[in-house]
């Protein structure tokens, strides 16, 4: 069973080894409780906002329709605050992944991630973090052929 994920990333001309295992995932969940609560609130807020705009059907598009009408309620400042929560959560994951091999403080990792965001972009860094998280949680190498013989897994007629 594969229960670790290791990658190398270059930030500002220096290579860093990212390491994540199940213990790291537990630590990540421990340090992200506040962010997870805020993300749930953000999801509800945006879902409710979109539902209030469309009221069960898409609005009709006319010749003079402004696609951004009524969207000022969710101004750029609010988007930036919400994005900052997501970036902080990502920084915590990278802090944990870098700690095993480099023992960097959260502030040092935060500065590194700010540089990495400029170099690679938020989407790429987030995708790498999610990929490593998923690799630890996925059992890619176990022989599952034995599972086919289990009666409990056979479809019932």
Q: Name beta bridge partners: 14.
A: 11
Dump pLDDT digits (tens) for 55-68: 667 778 888 888 87
* Average pLDDT for 86-107: 96
- Strand duo 14-21 + 4-11: pairing: antiparallel
Q: What is the pTM of this model?
A: 0.75
Burial class (CB in 10 A: 0-12, 13-18, 19+), 109: buried
- pLDDT above 70: percentage of residues in the chain: 80
Q: Which two tokens stand for residue 11?
A: 């930030």
Dump pLDDT digits (tens) for 15-44: 999 999 999 999 999 999 999 999 999 899
Give the pLDDT of residue 129.
94
Contact call for residues 27 and 92 (beta carbons, < 8 A): no
- Mapping DSSP to helix (H, G, I), strand (E, B) and coil, where does residue 4 land? strand
Residue 71 clears pLDDT 60, i.e. is over it: yes
């Amino acid at each position: 069973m594969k229960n670790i994920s290791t990658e190398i990333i270059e930030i500002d001309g220096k290579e860093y080894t990212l390491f994540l295992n199940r213990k790291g995932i537990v630590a990540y969940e421990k340090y992200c409780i506040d962010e997870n609560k805020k993300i749930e609130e953000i999801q509800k807020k945006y879902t409710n906002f979109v539902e209030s705009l469309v009221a069960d059907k898409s609005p009709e598009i006319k010749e003079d329709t402004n696609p951004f009408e009524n969207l000022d309620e969710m101004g750029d400042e609010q988007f930036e605050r919400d994005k900052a929560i997501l970036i902080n959560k990502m920084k915590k994951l990278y802090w944990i992944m870098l700690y095993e091999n480099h023992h960097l403080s959260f502030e040092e990792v935060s500065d590194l991630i700010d540089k990495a965001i400029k170099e690679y972009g938020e989407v790429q860094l987030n995708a790498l973090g999610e990929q490593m998280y998923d690799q630890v949680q996925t059992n890619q190498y176990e022989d599952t052929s034995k599972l086919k013989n289990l009666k409990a897994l056979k479809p019932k007629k």
